[in-house]
Chains A and B, each alone.
Chain A
């Protein structure tokens, strides 16, 4: 479990980091809690690591112009203990609280998690359900990618090799309530099923799943059930029936696709009941 040799640089600004990324087979290093294990297994062998943990502009959480802005280098722990998040986005607090263990939460970052796009990662579910926008910067300048477009498959996203996620922006929805529940894989404790639900003040709902399929997704079929309907048991049951639909569900030695599909529905029901 020794990685191949690599160079290391620790830029002070996002611009320097982008410049450092453009030469050779470089990779960004944030918390390192996904990248370093992969390097130790020699599954990835970058020639250079660009450590972005010392860039001040990638740190911190604020509310600005009707949005919550979480800079990409913010750790799981910082999100877990942030009051603004607790009040505005309780399901972010819930997700942050069940990621890994104390060490992982202390170093791992939300930007790193989203960029890595592990199909079982927790963050994608609440990020999708919250209608987040992901701001990235690269040699070609900056762009904003809606979370719904960001994830493209197993460990793959819209990010280009020279792009850095700089922030996650979430529109403030007054009166919204939210919950995140996950059925954990017993060994890794990543999500076998992670279900995030945001209930808006007008009763409409965003539902997102992680762990269920190769990429996290919004469940539009289940969401549509709530349009113009009251939040009663019948509506919840109908939504649960509609959930997952044609989605290609993952299968592994902890959960077959049949069981995972069942769990997704149970967890959706529990999440909806919690918000009813």
Chain B
């Protein structure tokens, strides 16, 4: 199908912004149901403790209190499930301890819920929660993944000896990699921590559950990224209630960054409780609860080695990672350090031998799961830090070293996809292209001159590179199923043409900042040749959308958009039959362009709106054709999509204080075809800011007692506008060869590419001043830079 009215590729303003910037958004916390009650949680102040007696008597007697439930009340209910099974190297299934709705017997991380208090107002619930008396007997605590597997470490779960969830390996056999490594002329080794991040969506998690006794129906409003998945997991796996009697709605959602993909204990608990008390129950996390109980991200302790021959060609990569999963398995926690991390370690390079070994570990910390990029930032950080460091160590220019090692361009049509050593087959790529463009934008030669001059004048400038690849739209279902996914990863798209020719599009993806209501409407309006305003996109309600896997992993346009495209094709095909009948021609002789069905080579045509009306008022109509113009499609992709790009950071260091200033940030991203350049640029900007946040500002800090010591905005530093220069973005287009729109996805690229570029720039600046350091632990505070300049 060809573009018909030029809407694809246009920076159409976001239609959803009208309601957001006028305060008319409808978030879960805005929803107040008749008979509404409010919940507050009693949460453990200890990271690891036996629970003694729980005395709720005083709290129950307080004004407005409706009910209080503790672990004992829900002990018979299943825990929340994990959606991805990873096996031990020896084939044993991973350890999967129950993740209970309320702690039973013992608590395993600070902030874990011990009791729920339900009252007539939020204030009453909070006051009563404070009056619940819980006896704790403190147990020894372990927070660090590498420590947790050592003999004698405190045990988080009895059923997981040495706190191991699984160990796992991917790539070439270890012996082959060792052998290749032994031939290397130079080996660059880096031991580092990819620190724990707290996602910090601006809208806290919020749930409002109700039970309609007359019809035996549950409704859950939830601040989620994937309502259907929540419905499935909650009804079938946790509560054992009939799926068709459960409606899950994800209304407007104020950001997720991964943290709202997962099925949280509170969702199921509130739904269960709403039935128990036969009144709606609402809970909205306060910011402290968000810090403590939203699933965190990253937290890897890694040793990585990359061997090079004397020309600088990579010969081997060996990686050992301890991944901290926290106290319980969150929904997709197990696939992040494995299938979203190990599989990306080919990067953009031709490294012939790769082995990655991952040990996933339980600790007394908040569960860790996918956070913007999920595994791919960890892989990219590892590779790109190694590349820059190797270049510095070998005295080769870091850009030149990359050019030497890049996989040559391939379009996936005339040239085949690229088979990596770590299971994936890249779809299409032109990796040198993005680096060349980035270098041009930077003015690289000139920069190196200025850097030298600056060093002579007592100023330190540094440049850092990151040439990344990522994998979006995890698929196909059969493949991910074989790898342990317990869900299919297809998408559903329904296109309903109304009798007037206006179009409603239903998607199983969910928009919480991505702008689907705009982009998807652009696609449909373009392909149907109708006005943008004539298309509305509906998402987020399991009662109106057939099914869906929601939005995560930058999958929405690549998978969800493709499902919609399939339905659009069916609409056009059926439309041709209707039009042919009207025009007294054969359907095969019709072409559809510019919103009209035309008999090829004639001026006989009929408009799309006309055909739509005829479909619903089928007085003059083909004999064997059903009325109506409404199609739903499932799309299961043939492969992942592989966006890639080049990010370049320039930093300046204040030599007296170690303070860093990010002077420039260049992002050249190839996300395949672009539907709405403004939205893509916005996604890149947001992603870059989060990636810079990880490099320079953010990071959860646990003390040895398992207390989160920086769980407020006074201590946990979010990046702000004045921390960044104007981000310089540019694109390159290498279409995806295997989906109808040729799109690859843009939601995570910014986060994945940016972090190592910034850290590499700091290291480069330090080297330019003669301070030979291999690594600074993120977030790189002024003090860390200052110390590096004192000692190195």
Contact = CB atoms under 8 A, between A and B. Distances in A.
Given A186-B697, A188-B715, A255-B783, 11 more contacts: A1-B288, A183-B659, A187-B710, A187-B715, A187-B716, A188-B713, A253-B701, A254-B783, A255-B782, A259-B787, A266-B656
A76 to B, nearest CB: 18
B717 A187 contact: yes
Contact of B123 (A2, A190, A266): A2
Contacts of A42: 130
18 contacts: A1-B288, A4-B127, A41-B288, A42-B130, A183-B657, A183-B659, A186-B697, A187-B710, A187-B713, A187-B715, A187-B716, A188-B713, A188-B714, A253-B715, A254-B781, A259-B782, A259-B787, A262-B657
A272 to B, nearest CB: 14
B786 interface: yes
B122 interface: yes
A64 B656 CA distance: 42
B771 interface: no
Interface string B126-144: 1100100000000000000
Interface in A164-211: 183, 186-188, 190
A61 interface: no
A3 to B, nearest CB: 9
Q: Chain A interface mostly helix, strand, loop or mixed?
A: loop
Contacts of B710: 187, 253
B704 interface: no
Contacts of A183: 657, 659
A234 interface: no
Contact of A259 (B126, B697, B713, B786): B786
A5 B123 contact: yes
B286 interface: yes
Given A4-B127, A187-B716, A266 B701 contact: no
B627 to A, nearest CB: 55
Interface centre among A4, A183, A253 (most CB of B within 10 A): A253
Contact of B709 (A5, A186, A188, A253): A253
B783 A259 contact: yes
B535 interface: no
Contacts of A266: 656-657
Interface in B683-720: 697, 701, 709-710, 713-718
A58 B272 CA distance: 54
B783 A1 contact: no
A256 B715 CA distance: 15
Contacts of B123: 2, 5
A263 interface: yes
A130 B205 CA distance: 48
A2 B127 CA distance: 9
Interface string A248-272: 0000011110010011001000000
B785 to A, nearest CB: 11
A5 B122 CA distance: 12
Nearest to B697: A186
Interface of A: 1-2, 4-5, 41-42, 183, 186-188, 190, 253-256, 259, 262-263, 266
B703 to A, nearest CB: 10
B365 to A, nearest CB: 17
B714 A186 contact: no
B30 to A, nearest CB: 18
Interface centre among B287, B656, B709, B716 (most CB of A within 10 A): B656
For the complex of A and B, list the 8 residue pairs with the smallest distance between their C-beta atoms, beginning with the closest.
A187-B717, A1-B286, A188-B714, A2-B126, A259-B783, A186-B717, A266-B656, A2-B123
A5 B62 CA distance: 14
Q: Chain B interface mostly helix, strand, loop or mixed?
A: loop
Contacts, number: 47
Contacts of A256: 783
Contacts of B717: 186-187
Contacts of B659: 183
Interface of B: 122-123, 126-127, 130, 286-288, 656-657, 659, 697, 701, 709-710, 713-718, 781-783, 786-787
Contacts of B287: 1
A259 B288 CA distance: 29
A46 to B, nearest CB: 15
A2 B288 contact: no
A248 to B, nearest CB: 19
Contacts of B701: 253
B563 to A, nearest CB: 41
B709 A187 contact: no
Contact of B786 (A186, A253, A262): A262
Nearest to B287: A1
Nearest to A265: B656
Contacts of B787: 259
Contacts of A1: 286-288
B122 A2 contact: yes
Contacts of A186: 697, 717, 781
B656 to A, nearest CB: 5
A221 to B, nearest CB: 21
Given A263-B657, A266-B656, A187 B714 contact: yes
Nearest to B781: A254
Nearest to A255: B783
B41 to A, nearest CB: 13
Contacts of A187: 697, 710, 713-718
Contacts of A190: 714
Contacts of B782: 255, 259
A11 to B, nearest CB: 26
A259 B287 CA distance: 31
Nearest to A260: B783
A77 to B, nearest CB: 19
A120 to B, nearest CB: 10
A148 B258 CA distance: 51
A93 B82 CA distance: 56
Nearest to B713: A187
A259 B716 CA distance: 20
A53 to B, nearest CB: 24
Contacts of B288: 1, 41
A1 B710 CA distance: 16
Interface centre among B123, B713, B783 (most CB of A within 10 A): B783
A187 B656 CA distance: 21
Nearest to A193: B657
A190 B787 CA distance: 22
Nearest to A270: B656
A186 B709 CA distance: 16
A227 to B, nearest CB: 27
Contacts of A4: 127
